[in-house]
Amino acid sequence: MDLTRYLPPVLALLVLLIVLVLLALWGWRRRAARQGDLPALPQPIGGGKALTGEQGAVGASGVYVATTVAGEPLERVTARGLGARSRAVLGEAEDAGNAVLTVGRQGAPDFLIPWDDVRSVHTAPGMVGKWIGGDGLLVIRWQLGERLLDTGFRPDSAEDQDRFLALGRERRRTDLGGERRPAAPASEDRSDHPATPDASAPTPFTPEARAPQPRKEQP
């Protein structure tokens, strides 16, 4: 059998594949360049010497999926190493007395999300890099400089997801000193708690709505 006749289409397919890969890399770098004004990711004060807390008590292993522009699940943020999907551990700690979420990633820079900068902790059906449906992803909406971002995390355990949702609700009700914030009057206009439902706002999620189930998928 003469195999040489298959050589031209195979070579053409290989060249096409290389071109597609190069275009993808070019697009990735161009996106990162457009996002070059994104501030540096929060890091522990004093190189981590002031970072305290029992991460294992509230920590969750899983997959760091992506960070996108808030409310735009297809608009991936690639600057500052945020575009790399990886195995990760999400935890909570105190950094020099300030409550923070810790994001420890494999093969990508670790960073902190100060609770002061968190706007909501909710679920979503997915984002660029991972679409699951339902309440598949834990999403942390937070402020970094002038950018409002959504960071998606897929815990290995549904129980861990429920725990961080509850933690987010608790943090929204308390200040860093641990004291209850007074409830806003019904007539008070607050931008982060609108009086009427907003279709673009994250859908509230009740942990009791489903029983915790282990998740076995890997990135």
Residue 144 shares a structural domain with residue 75: yes
pLDDT at residue 212, as a whole number: 42
Q: How far is it, in rounded angstroms, from Cα 36 to Cα 72?
A: 19
| Domains held by the chain: number | 2
Q: Would you say residue 74 lies in a domain? A: yes
Residue 106 shares a structural domain with residue 16: no
pLDDT at residue 50, as a whole number: 64
Residue 23 shares a structural domain with residue 70: no
Q: Would you say residue 215 lies in a domain? A: no
Residue 29 shares a structural domain with residue 103: no
Q: Which domain holds residue 18?
A: 3-34
Residue 108 shares a structural domain with residue 55: yes
Whole-model pTM: value is 0.67
Q: How far is it, in rounded angstroms, from Cα 143 to Cα 95?
A: 18
CA R_g for the chain:
21
pLDDT at residue 165, as a whole number: 95
Residue 59 shares a structural domain with residue 139: yes
Q: How far is it, in rounded angstroms, from Cα 96 to Cα 176?
A: 12
Question: Which residue, among 214, 164, 178, has the nearest Cα to 59 in the 3D structure?
Answer: 164
pLDDT at residue 48, as a whole number: 66
Residue 10 shares a structural domain with residue 98: no
pLDDT at residue 104, as a whole number: 94
pLDDT tens string for the chain (219 positions)? 566 776 777 777 888 888 777 766 666 566 565 666 889 999 988 666 667 765 445 689 999 999 999 999 999 998 888 988 999 999 999 998 889 999 999 999 999 999 999 999 999 999 998 888 889 899 999 999 999 999 999 999 999 999 999 999 998 776 445 544 433 333 334 334 444 344 444 544 333 334 444 565 544
Q: Where are the alpha helices (DSSP H) in the chain?
A: 7-34, 55-58, 158-173
